[in-house]
Amino acid sequence: MSITPATGQVEQTAISVQGLEKSFGQVNVLRGVDLDVARGDIFALLGSNGAGKTTVVKILSTLLRADAGTARVNGFDVRTQAADVRAAISLTGQFAAVDEILTGRENLVLVARLRHLPGPGAIADDLLRRFSLTEAANRRVATYSGGMRRRLDIAMSLIGNPPVIFLDEPTTGLDPEARIEVWHAVKELAEGGTTVLLTTQYLDEAEQLADRIAILHEGRIVVNGTLDELRQLLPPAEIEYVEKRPTLEDVFLSLVGTRTDKGQR
Ligand SMILES: Nc1ncnc2c1ncn2[C@@H]1O[C@H](COP(=O)(O)OP(=O)(O)O)[C@@H](O)[C@H]1O
Ligand SMILES: [Mg+2]
């Protein structure tokens, strides 16, 4: 089931996928995936473990070839214009790719140098500030909490300002506070105009972050729309008067408070 976006102009589309298929041996992981992501949106690809989320991200980031179908990223075909696609994207995988021995600032400066950008120190300082890592800038990453590492990893992927970024399960394995820190970082990205495609297996993550949500199930997108559109797919809830009980997450956060970048692990 697909709910067509109101503004469907081609130039507004950052990612466009049609009929994507991929099998590994006898396993048909993707059986015809269709999706469009508008420029500047946060798009969540939601699916259980093994649904094929990473496979989609790998195809879109040119690390893997589809068996059939087409995909364009920032206007470029992933099959025939792979180099252009790579220049337009960054990919942050499920496991933080930061160097533990270096400080946060050194990690950022290193990537800016590798990309031959002028003023690597200034680029690093700006990103440290945006991701609330200034106080921890000169500490080795080995002393960072999980949320700080993931934020640094996302910051590193922004060097060079790619218009499209892929975040594969950005908060899997993080504690609730660290997840919220990462959510803030992702929201900031989209406010700056970056298109974000993230994968997640968490319903609340998609609910909190995404402008649009697509559910990948048994190799296809079974539903695609805004949270409100998805809610309308179900009959209206019966009205009941009950006391609103705090969620476990509410309780946890009210007891432990919200950690800033001083937290250590
Ligand atoms: N290189 C591969 N070789 C064989 N099977 C694979 C390979 N990559 C992924 N798979 C299988 O494809 C399915 C989807 O994997 P994946 O895309 O990683 O799912 P998700 O990211 O949603 O958890 C899984 O059943 C996985 O075992
Ligand atoms: Mg995965």
State how far the Cα of 129 lies from the Cα of 165, in Å rounded to an integer: 20
- Residue 77: pLDDT over 50: yes
- Residue 248: pLDDT over 80: no
pLDDT at 213: 93
pLDDT at 255: 73
Q: Which domain holds residue 65?
A: 14-231+252-256
State how far the Cα of 89 lies from the Cα of 87, in Å rounded to an integer: 6
In tens, the pLDDT along 214-229 reads 999 999 999 899 988 8
Identity of the residue numbered 126: D
Q: What number is the average pLDDT over the span 39-51?
A: 94
pTM of the model: 0.84
Q: Is the sign of the CA dihedral 159, 162, 164, 168 positive or negative? A: negative
Q: Is residue 3 part of a domain?
A: no
pLDDT at 190: 87
Q: What number is the average pLDDT over the span 197-219?
A: 92
Q: Is residue 237 part of a domain?
A: no
Segment of 61-75, 88-102, 180-194, 250-264 carrying the highest mean pLDDT? 61-75
**Which residue has the least CA distance to atom 9 on ligand 1?**
55
State how far the Cα of 211 lies from the Cα of 21, in Å rounded to an integer: 25
- Residue 159: pLDDT over 80: yes
- Residue 245: pLDDT over 90: no
Q: Is residue 264 part of a domain?
A: no
- Residue 9: pLDDT over 50: no
The pLDDT mean for the chain works out to: 87
Distances (CA, A) of 231 to 133, 207, 219, 224, 228: 37, 11, 22, 11, 5
Q: Into how many domains does the chain fold? A: 1
CA of 200 to the centre of ligand 1 (A): 15
Which CATH number does the domain housing residue 50 bear? 3.40.50.300
Q: Is residue 246 part of a domain?
A: no
Pocket test for ligand 1, best of 46, 54, 216 (most atoms within 8 A of CB): 54
Angle value at C-alpha 186, between 194 and 46, nearest 5 degrees: 95
In tens, the pLDDT along 52-63 reads 999 999 999 999
Ion ligand 2: residues, CB within 5 A, are 53-54
**Which residue has the least CA distance to atom 10 on ligand 1?**
24
State how far the Cα of 12 lies from the Cα of 234, in Å rounded to an integer: 29
Of 125, 185, 122, 124, the closest CA to residue 150 belongs to: 185
Q: How confident is the model at residue 249 (pLDDT cuts 50, 70, 90)?
A: confident
> Does ligand 1 have an atom closer than 6 angstroms to the CB of 200?
no
Q: Is residue 9 part of a domain?
A: no
> Does ligand 1 have an atom closer than 6 angstroms to the CB of 48?
no
**Which residue has the least CA distance to atom 24 on ligand 1?**
50
- Residue 1: pLDDT over 70: no
Count of alpha carbons within 13 angstroms of residue 39, beta-carbon side: 13
Q: What number is the average pLDDT over the span 14-35?
A: 97
Q: What number is the average pLDDT over the span 248-260?
A: 67
Q: Is residue 147 part of a domain?
A: yes
Q: Is residue 247 part of a domain?
A: no
CA of 194 to the centre of ligand 2 (A): 22
